[in-house]
């Protein structure tokens, strides 16, 4: 997985998977077309975090500061650097070439992927989130933040997987 190239060592992680009865090419197409506003819970959680409506598409996430690290047939990978525990998020603008080497103290780096793998007659769609903090202070702050936000982050990712599946069901 390309996520291993960009964030092989991490402090926090979660992952979710869903089997979908469709070929990988169809699942990838549905993933690229998903709009998170189609899910009231995801839309509400994004609003509570203060994210604008445009952030519910891939292009919108990139406008917010997510950088596309990989876009392969089997994996879509984004990265983001910031102080996520602050009101503004303290986002850092960085390109894919400099994502791995960024080490300014007081920040957290996150890599978020979607994997599309053949599984039997269908596809296994997975998502992983990894976070590494650049120092102990950031790690302490992120840990407090993650205790509150982490479960909701998991809800968003699981619902995203279901949205992709629903997009294929018609």
Q: What is the pLDDT of residues 86-136, one digit of tens each?
A: 988 999 999 999 999 999 999 999 999 999 999 999 999 999 999 999 999
The answer for residues whose C-beta is within 8 angstroms of residue 10's C-beta and 6 or more apart is 111, 130, 131, 132
Contact 121, 21 (CB under 8 A): yes
Q: Residues 110, 111, 114, 119: is their CA dihedral positive or negative?
A: negative
The pLDDT of residue 31 is 94
Q: For residue 67, what are the β-bridge partners? A: 79
Q: Distance (Å, rounded) from C-alpha 127 to C-alpha 15? A: 6
Residue 117 β-bridge partners: 124
Q: Which of 62, 82, 99 is nearest to 133 (CA)?
A: 82
List, in order of start, the domains of the chain with CATH numbers.
3-169 (3.30.530)
Exposure string of 34-66, with b = 16+ CB inside 10 Å and e = fewer, is: bebbebeebbebbeeeebeeebbbbebbeeebb
pLDDT given at position 75: 97
Alpha carbons 97 and 121: distance in angstroms, whole number: 37
Quickly list H helices, 115-135. Answer: none
Q: Do residues 138 and 106 lie in contact, with contact meaning Cβ atoms separated by under 8 Å? A: yes
Question: In a structure prediction context, what are the per-residue pLDDT tens digits for the chain, which is 170 residues long?
Answer: 999 999 999 999 999 999 999 999 999 999 999 888 788 888 888 778 777 666 677 888 888 889 999 999 999 999 999 999 998 899 999 999 999 999 999 999 999 999 999 999 999 999 999 999 999 999 999 999 999 999 998 998 999 999 999 988 75
Asked if 93 contacts 84 with a C-beta cutoff of 8 angstroms, the reply is: no
Distance CA 39, CA 112 (A): 20
């Amino acid at each position: 997985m390309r996520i291993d190239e960009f964030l092989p060592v991490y402090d926090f992680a979660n992952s979710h998977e869903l089997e979908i009865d469709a070929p990988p090419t169809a699942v990838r197409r549905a993933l690229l077309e998903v709009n998170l506003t189609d899910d009231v819970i995801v839309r509400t959680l994004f609003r509570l975090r203060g994210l604008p409506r445009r952030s519910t598409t891939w292009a919108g996430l990139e406008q917010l500061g997510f950088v596309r690290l990989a876009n392969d047939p089997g994996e879509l990978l984004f990265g983001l650097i910031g102080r996520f525990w602050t009101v503004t998020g303290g986002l850092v603008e960085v390109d894919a070439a400099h994502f791995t080497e960024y080490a300014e103290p007081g920040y957290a780096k996150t890599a978020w992927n979607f994997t599309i793998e053949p599984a039997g007659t269908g596809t296994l769609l997975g998502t992983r989130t990894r976070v590494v903090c650049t120092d102990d202070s950031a790690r302490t702050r992120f840990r407090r933040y993650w205790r509150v936000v982490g479960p909701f982050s998991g809800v968003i990712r699981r619902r995203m997987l279901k949205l992709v599946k629903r997009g294929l069901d018609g």
